[in-house]
Chain A
Amino acid sequence: MTSVIGHLTGLDFDHQYKGWMSCPPGALFEAPVQEDVDKDKKPIADNIRNQARYSKALFIWTDCDREGEHIGSEVRNQAKAGNARIEVKRARFSNTERAHVLQAAREPVELDEYQANAVAARIELDLRIGAAFTRLQTLQLQAVSAILKEKIISYGSCQFPTLGFVVDRYLRVQNFKPETFWSIKVMLQREGKKVNFLWRRVHLYDRAAVTMMLERCLMAKQAKVTKVNQKPKSKWRPLPLTTVDLQMMGSRFLRIDSQTIMKVAEALYTKGFISYPRTETDQFDKAIDLKKLVEKQFPDNQWGQYAKDLIDGKFRTPRSGRHNDKAHPPIHPVCWVSASQLNVNEKKVYEFVVRRFLACCSEDAKGQGTDIEIQYGEEFFHASGLIVLERNYLDVYVYDKWESSQQLPNFERGEVFEPTEANISEGKTTAPSYLTEPELIGLMDANGIGTDATMAEHIAKIKEREYVVVNTRGSGRSKVEELIPTRLGIALVEGYDNVVAGLPNSISLSKPFLRKEMELRMLEICAGSKTRQEVVQQSLDMYREVFIHTQRRIEMLKAACRKYLNEQPAS
């Protein structure tokens, strides 16, 4: 039994290409590369080779995801170097609970070459594309501004679209122009209650038209009830927890940034408290004994009783989402741990995972909704009310809010009444707010930037590179952390957008499309429909085209940097 720490090998250019001035940056798209054991991993590799010499078989227990598969293949290569006849198997598991581990040990499988190849392709592409653009822009831009003189301006095919989202929102906020709109509000006083009816048109941006519409309402004098709908309403319990959801909800409810959440979740996984935290799956496999997992939470003095009530008859089979990565179940608690054994963040994340899991196994919240629609003149208005009857999952999932509204008085369909008040209210459009981390994760997920495993790293990277800073607004519970691009960040995005402006079929590096295409090709390797070489060639061709445009129009990139970095702040 021995272990590894992450990847054993690294990919790098041959010696003669390593110097920044050794070759034109564009040559890095083809320069020979070599896979070598990292210097600091040499003892680990030696150890594996040695141990292999005296062993008949190698059982690989790396994490069951793409990266884990690739690390497994590195381990195998070392072992085979020590003992060519060694038999290699890998264990398929998603948590470290005893029974699960024993099960995995009894049914080892083969390493998945496709997945390992996808990672190898990704590593090669990241190296070549990253190095080529980083060298090009660093060498060209260092001379532009004193601020950049000593700086390495790194490029990454995920980092840049991530930065692009932040800049895009920032510019939308900066450029925003407020506008006035008008609305009609109708109020009726009945049974001692004030009922406010909302306009079906919400609001319009033409005062004269709204004034005319209100006048026509008033001319009609009477409003008529056109619909009275009483119907049961429910608020659905959440779906089983995925990594992206954990990061989004976590940074929203727990106020911990996504990278920290992942670190904490990994610690909880390694200690055996929760299942593997990197998963896209939001449906539980039928084979998994959920009730048994619920029972494990009995000892808790916060939600133990809730868990008991579930087992005593309130248990419901969780809803199924549409995603299944075929590798891991949704994130769930594996066993109970006393809060006293966890640090502050671990406690928060563990509690969230447990509450979410128990909520998944609960009944939806139930209520009674009333919708009333009236016609007043030619205009329609509506009022709605809600009475929450059964809270169900809301009792344990404290993060969701669903509350009863004021109760509506009785209305009959077809009855007419004279509203107590009808008037015009005025409002203004407001600028969107700066991007927050949960929103950014959502955007990355929706646009195929990074994987659940890497999104948090990309965000951390653009902060570290000083392309983006975090600005805290408000305090206490209303505290919001906003992502604001630096001048350099804006300059890079604007520069690359200008480089491809007007060129047909060329896509800016600040947009997610190129990277998304690359990501989709990785999936094709995993599915076995494309080879590693095909994918590497196709993706390199795609980026090489942008690289050539960038070289030709490098002035645009420089101009953008001059514009933002050399401009003296107005005093």
Chain B
Amino acid sequence: MANAEQIAAQIMSSKSLCVSSSWLNSFLASSQRNVPVSALTKTALFRVLASDIRESLTTNPTSLFPVDISDPAVQERRIPGPIPVQVLDIEDIGTSLWSQVEAIERIERGEAIRGREIVRTVNVGDDNEGAETGSSSNAPAGAPSVSGSSGSGPHRLILQDANGTKAVAIEMQHIEGISLEKLPIGAKILLRNATVARGMVLLNVNCSTLLGGKIEALDKPWKEGRKARLLQRIDSMRDEANQSG
């Protein structure tokens, strides 16, 4: 069992992930003997990142969200952590849902894939010498950007801890690696000293470390169902508007 302890210690020191001993034991039982510890550690880490952390990590209270994390009555609190979490959902809240649908449809029609064969769009009447008029040329409110999803974010994520508690997180500052294309569902993030405001975890460069990984069983259906979900949300938004107005 010296192996199990060594591996757990290494993953702990390199990634601050506390692997559960039952998960580690079954991992070791299924792996070949006579493999050096360093190689085993590598494989174990890869598997952890591809796993559901509710099964692979321990539920130590300091590495979990407070159970009432989503309470909107709490104006601000700090959670020291470190808390490993996995991404269950990601949305771009800087781009309208409809323009994201249009972008997906362009890809479905094959227009974005064949490379040079993109119907080029033009902006008549826009100042093509924007250099001098400065920021007043900001995207006109409401007009969806011509290229569809700009992917600029910020993004809203749904994160889950090892106990299964979920929380909404907002990307307050651009974080490299957080984008619809680059961040798969099931990717692991480590939160340290994160601020939670009105039930939302505020992500910035200092408090979040992207560990990578993904959960294939979640990522694939998420991608396939994205357009349908966007359309559904657009519909439900309209229903709400009709009811309230």
- A384-B172 contact given A179-B234, A205-B93, A205-B97, CB 8 Å threshold: no
Give the residue of A204, A428, A513 whose beta carbon is less than 8 angstroms from that of B142: A428
| B156→A429 contact, CB < 8 A | no
| A384→B156 contact, CB < 8 A | no
Q: Which residue of A lies closest to B105 (CB)?
A: A175
Q: How far is the CA of A443 from the CA of B89 in the complex (A)?
A: 37
Interface residues in chain A, defined as those with a beta carbon under 8 Å from any beta carbon in chain B:
165, 168, 172, 176-177, 179-181, 183, 198, 201-206, 208-209, 211-212, 215-216, 219, 233-236, 248, 252, 367, 369, 371, 378, 382, 384, 386, 402, 405, 427-430, 432, 436, 438-439, 442-443, 445-447, 497, 507, 511-513
| B94→A512 contact, CB < 8 A | no
Chain A residues with CB under 8 A of B117: 507, 511, 513
B residues 160-197 near A (Cβ < 8 Å) are: 170, 172-173, 197
Q: For the complex formed, measure the closest distance between the CB of A473 and the CB atoms of chain B, giving whole angstroms.
A: 16
Chain A residues with CB under 8 A of B223: none
Chain B residues with CB under 8 A of A248: 124
Chain B residues with CB under 8 A of A181: 96, 141-142
| A-B residue pairs in contact (CB < 8 Å), sample of 29 | A168-B119, A172-B102, A176-B98, A179-B98, A179-B234, A179-B237, A180-B241, A202-B139, A203-B141, A204-B93, A205-B93, A208-B72, A208-B198, A209-B93, A212-B198, A216-B197, A252-B125, A369-B134, A371-B134, A386-B136, A402-B133, A429-B98, A430-B143, A432-B143, A436-B124, A442-B122, A443-B119, A443-B120, A447-B120
Q: How far is the CA of A203 from the CA of B94 in the complex (A)?
A: 7
Chain A residues with CB under 8 A of B173: 378
Q: How far is the CA of A195 from the CA of B200 in the complex (A)?
A: 31
Q: For the complex formed, measure the closest distance between the CB of B117 and the CB atoms of chain A, giving whole angstroms.
A: 5
Known contacts A204-B94, A205-B97, A219-B75; can you find 18 more A-B pairs with CB under 8 A? A176-B98, A179-B98, A181-B96, A204-B93, A205-B93, A206-B170, A208-B72, A208-B198, A215-B75, A369-B132, A371-B135, A382-B135, A428-B142, A429-B98, A429-B142, A430-B142, A443-B121, A511-B111
Q: How far is the CA of A202 from the CA of B198 in the complex (A)?
A: 22
Q: How far is the CA of A236 from the CA of B111 in the complex (A)?
A: 35
Chain A residues with CB under 8 A of B93: 204-206, 209
Interface size on B, residues (CB 8 A): 43
| B234→A177 contact, CB < 8 A | yes
Q: Which residue of A lies closest to B234 (CB)?
A: A177
- A209-B133 contact given A179-B96, A378-B172, A447-B120, CB 8 Å threshold: no
Would you give the 0/1 interface string for B46-61, flagging 1 where the beta carbon is closer than 8 Å to chain A?
A: 0000000000000000
Give the residue of A219, A432, A436, A446 whose beta carbon is less than 8 angstroms from that of B120: A446
Q: For the complex formed, measure the closest distance between the CB of B167 and the CB atoms of chain A, giving whole angstroms.
A: 13
Q: Does B81 contact A (CB under 8 A)?
A: no
Q: Which residue of A lies closest to B238 (CB)?
A: A177
Q: Does B20 contact A (CB under 8 A)?
A: no
Q: How far is the CA of A198 from the CA of B102 in the complex (A)?
A: 28
Chain B residues with CB under 8 A of A211: 198
For the complex of A and B, list the 4 residue pairs with the smallest distance between their C-beta atoms, beginning with the closest: A442-B122, A446-B120, A206-B93, A233-B132
